[in-house]
Amino acid sequence: MGRLFGTDGVRGIANSELTPELAFKLGKAGAHVLSKDVKRPVVLIGKDTRLSGDMLEDALSAGILAVGGNVIKVGVLPTPAIAYLVKAYRADAGVVISASHNPFEYNGIKFFNGEGFKLDDDIENEIEDIILRDIDVNSHITGDRLGRCLEADDDAMDKYADFLKSTIQTDISGVKLVLDCANGAAYKVAQKVYEDLGADITVIGNKPDGTNINDSCGSTHPEKLQEEVIRQGAFLGLAYDGDADRLIAVDEKGRIIDGDKLICICARMMKDKGQLPGDLVTATVMSNLGFHKYIESLGLKTQVTSVGDRYVLESMLKTGGMIGGEQSGHIIFLNHTTTGDGILSSLQLLQAVLLTGRKPSELSDEIEIFPQVLKNARVKNENKNKYMEDEDIKGAIAKIEEDLKGTGRVLIRPSGTEPLVRVMLEGQDVEHITKLAEDLAVLLTKRFG
């Protein structure tokens, strides 16, 4: 068995790679590590709408109960709801059973600590070490030392919804919106939040059957949302992914507003409100050049991190940043919560647009997104990082940078999971940057393949 934890918890095909046996072990080891100083830890568990969620929830719960922990099951709720509720319930840890934007046959298990933050690498490594070394952390305790399932409040969803509504101060009553809930974890709570706030909403992707999560819907497949926005004459369309920690929007013309543009629009509002300490916005190396130019035009600075929301959050905690995220629509508003939250992001976006008195398309069009071309160079695993020291490669990159002269950029990064080096170019001429990217990828393959 290789490394269990990826960039966002443990994931795999349910009952094949992510088995009930593994879930049981994760429950035992996770409860043990996260609650060392607590005699009887309390762990909150939520899930999305996948068919395999029940199986994994019961196995995970059994593992927690076996080490003397108590379990509170709050049912189907978004990932960020668990990050919020773990504090509201004063639990010692939270667990989400979800594979986010992946197809239904996949599932995942990710942990939050008692403060609602995803786990640090060293804690994940400790949990993983217990499982891989097959250490029995409970020594088969018996009697009244075993844990039990506690009754969750009936209003767990209401608590989370009330929190979400508290993050917006602008009246949205009567605003015509279309929500796409991806047949996932947001299918009840997103509708409740917007109905309570008085918006005129149409909801699609809100009929989960256990197998249709993310199926031609949600933030990774916004085509139906685009059509519905045009059909309804809506002001804005809002698409979440399966566990509702991401947002992709659609303007009134049916055009997509991606994560880079969402951050720009919301950062502008936060600057005007004096909510950006140090005039700082956090983004990853994959954020578009147009994003950087727009942020600079606002008089703001960008802190750049590696790809992955955990690295965005890590940087924000160090620098005091209040907004950060990725093109995928995973956006963290640290002045409100501890992780990406699609519904919260949609409320902030709607507020940001309404405060300007302009149309979503007008704000979106102010941000010029440069075309991006991505090519993969197949290399040997042991050579994935050697390009940085190769004179021919450095020379080729320098020539590309000189060619683009501030109207584009080149980014090279090794794949974390495959024997590939990814070559990404941005620029205004798609044909030209495609040829440059292809030539550089070929050179990398020749040198290190």
Q: Where is 305: in which H helix or E strand?
A: strand 301-305
CA distance 393 to 399: 10
Q: Which of 321, 290, 286 is nearest to 303 (CA)?
A: 321
Contacting residues for 186 by C-beta, under 8 A, at least 6 apart: 78, 240, 244, 342, 343
* Element (DSSP H or E) covering residue 177: strand 176-180
Question: Contact 384/414 with Cβ under 8 angstroms?
Answer: yes
Per-residue tokens: 188: 């009840």
d(CA 400, CA 384) in angstroms, rounded, equals: 21
Catalytic residue among 52, 100, 328, 345: 100
Q: Burial of 214 by CB count in 10 Å (0-12 exposed, 13-18 middle, 19+ buried)?
A: buried
Q: Quick one: how far is CA 160 from the chain centroid?
A: 18
Instruction: Give CA–CA dist 156/192, Å, rounded.
Output: 13
Strands 256-257 and 93-97: unpaired
351: its two tokens: 């507020």
* 346 counts as catalytic: no
What the block records as the tokens of 79 is 């990932």
Tell me if residue 253 falls in helix, strand or coil: coil
Kind plus residue range of the DSSP H or E element containing 229 = helix 223-232
Contact 128, 77 (CB under 8 A): no
Give the Cα separation of 379 and 425 in Å (integer). 19
Quote the CA–CA distance of 52 and 102 in Å, as a whole number: 13
Cβ-contact 201, 181 below 8 angstroms? no
Task: Give the integer Cα–Cα distance in Å for 98 and 50.
Answer: 8
Residues in a beta bridge with 73: 45
Token reading at 26: 């994760």
Nearest to 386 by CA among 445, 438, 436: 445
Coil vs helix vs strand at 261: helix
> Can you say whether the dihedral through the CA atoms of 286, 292, 298, 301 is positive or negative?
positive
Tell me which residues are annotated as active site: 100
